[in-house]
Each structure stands twice: as C-alpha cells, then as structure tokens.
Amino acid sequence: MRLRHDPTARERLLAYPFSYEKETVTPGAWQNHFPQNQPLHAEFGSGKGQFITTLAARHPENNYIAVELHAEVLLKVAQKIEEQGLTNVVCLLANLMEVDRLFAPDELSRIYLNFSDPWPKKRHAKRRLTHETMIQHYQWILAPEGEIHIKTDNQDFFEFTLNQLATCDMKLQNITLDLHRNTPEGMELVMTEYEEKFVAKGQPIFRCEARQRTSDSK
C-alpha cells in the first residue's frame, strides 16, 4: 500500500508515544511498551490498520504490534489507536527484511500476514514475506506453539506460501480456499482494508494457519 509521499509523516508518526522505529526498540523488551505483560501478536505489513486495531479493541487480553514499511500508511494506524484510546497496540516503522533485528527468540505468540505483496515475478521471490528465509526468521521469534495466520487474494502466492511453510516443517491447519463462503467453524472474522475490496468484488480469499511443531530447533 502506498500513499502520496509526505516528508513530515515519519516525524508526525514518531511523535505518538506508542510509535517506534528500529533504532528505538530493543529485541526482547517489547512488553515494556505495554501496561500489561500478555501474549504479543503482530501484523506484518499492517497497511492502515483496520484489522489490528479491531482485534486490539476486541481482545484486551493480548498486546499487538502493527509493523509497516511506510510512515504515511502507519500514521493512519496511529490515528486509529489514538481515536479509540487503545493501550494494547503499538506501531513499529520498519522493514521486515530486517525482522531478526526487531524481535528476540520466542517473543511473539502470533504473526498475521494479510494480503502481503505477492511479488509475482520469480526473480523477486525472495522479497515475498512468506519466502522460506523469512519463515525461518519467524520460527526463530515465535514462541513454542506460536502461529502464523495468512490471508491473501492471490492463489499463486497462496500455493507458494503453503509450500514454503511445509518446507519449514510447520504444521498447517484451518486451510480454506474461500474464507467468506467456507468459514472454518468458530473462526473469528475480522476484515482488512484490502480484504473488504476483494470481497466486494466477489473474489475468494485464501487463508491458512501454520503452527510451530516444537521449539527443539532453537
């Protein structure tokens, strides 16, 4: 997601007391940024933050981090957090290609990847947030039994992702090829901004969950 470049966006974003960037965070110390020590969930590539702020409002028993590359976009998340008076969600302006420098081993309980850029050209496969190399980083920072929840509109990206998760020996569950017509029983549905657009056009949403098998490899 891109918004028009705004040279003041980073400064305005970081003026919020709940906004951080790589230089102002210490891996392993994320709980210090919340009033309560509780399970930590992050959305990687949060866009404007409808999904993560809705979850944070519904689930005060978790802490949330919106991670996003573009300050102009993350500013929208910060505005939602302030408007809703949420205290269990913070913003991190960062490039996820450096994810291993942002979090410590076992620090996250769940990672959400919603409508990640598919990078359709084969030569750009390493830029996909579900490339094997990235999943290995996620396995490192996820707690034992930690999960990755993935949604996308792009079937090729979804099939690539399932293969990469399997290569990394993650346990796959709750796979659906059409989330809104075939919702797994009991699943909580919270839509992202991108998802609303695709659903309005009648496009199927692909979704899966991947779980850590053990923490033996850490």
Ligand X SMILES: C[S@@+](CC[C@H](N)C(=O)[O-])C[C@H]1O[C@@H](n2cnc3c(N)ncnc32)[C@H](O)[C@@H]1O
Q: Which sequence positions are flagged as catalytic?
A: 117
CA distance 177 to 82: 35
- Compute how many residues bind ligand X; rule: CB under 6 A: 20
Residue 114 in contact with ligand X, rule: CB under 6 A? yes
Torsion (CA) 160, 180, 56, 4 in degrees, nearest 10: 70
CA distance 53 to 71: 17
Residue 192 in contact with ligand X, rule: CB under 6 A? yes
The answer to whether 148 and 165 are in contact (CB under 8 A) is yes
Residue 47 in contact with ligand X, rule: CB under 6 A? yes
Residue 110 in contact with ligand X, rule: CB under 6 A? no
Structure tokens at 190: 């919270």
Amino acid at 151: K
Q: Which of 33, 38, 59, 97 binds ligand X (CB under 6 A)?
A: 97
Q: Which of 104, 117, 131, 204 binds ligand X (CB under 6 A)?
A: 117
Question: Measured from the CB of residue 144, what is the shortest distance to ligand X in angstroms?
Answer: 25
Residue 190 in contact with ligand X, rule: CB under 6 A? no
Closer of 68 and 209 to ligand X (Cβ): 68
C-alpha R_g of the chain: 17
CA distance 147 to 131: 16
Residue 70 in contact with ligand X, rule: CB under 6 A? yes
**Residues engaged in binding ligand X (CB under 6 A):** 1, 45-47, 67-70, 73, 95-97, 114-117, 192-195
